[in-house]
Structure 1
Amino acid sequence: MSSKQGGKAKPLNQPKADKKEYDEIDKANIQKKKDEEKMLKELKAKAQQKGAFGGSGLKKSGKK
């Protein structure tokens, strides 16, 4: 038999990672981080509705 194999070799199956158990402090930190991300998304959405900052944007003079 030849040692050459055609195509890609299949990756080895890795054992499934066990679920991490969190204590109260870790759970509070995770929840706080999720809340902050949610607030940032809401602020970004509000900022996009208002348009450019400053209102007028770039001003061009009529002189040449």
Structure 2
Amino acid sequence: MSGREGGKKKPLKAPKKESKDLDEDDLAHKQKLKEQQKALQEAKAKASQKGPLATGGIKKSGKK
């Protein structure tokens, strides 16, 4: 016996998943998620243009 034959055999390709029919509720939900994702991306882009919010760090008084 050669060393290559031992062990569990792997399938060549994964079986195709069945495409399930989407009803109107599923389509509306997917559309809503896309809109939320788009709004989040726009908010990130807008926030990155303004710059950092807290740049001062810890402020120290002159007293000891």
Structure 2 length-normalised TM: 0.69
1:17 deviates by 0.8
**Displaced runs of 4 or more, over 2 A:** 56-61
1:53 deviates by 1.7
| Structure 1 segments unaligned to the other structure (5+ residues) | none
Percent of pairs identical after alignment?
41
Aligned counterparts, 1:1-64, within 5 A: 2=1, 4-5=3-4, 11-12=10-11, 13-53=13-53, 57-58=56-57
Cα RMSD (Å) of the superposition?
2.7
SS in structure 1 of the partner of residue 19 of structure 2: coil
| Structure 2 segments unaligned to the other structure (5+ residues) | none
Following the alignment from structure 1 to structure 2, what is the Cα–Cα distance between the partners of residues 20 and 57?
A: 54
SS in structure 1 of the partner of residue 52 of structure 2: coil
Following the alignment from structure 2 to structure 1, what is the Cα–Cα distance between the partners of residues 58 and 2?
A: 72
1:31 deviates by 0.5
Which amino acid is the alignment partner of residue 23 of structure 1? D
Following the alignment from structure 2 to structure 1, what is the Cα–Cα distance between the partners of residues 38 and 10?
A: 37
Structure 1 length-normalised TM: 0.69
Q: How many residues align?
A: 60
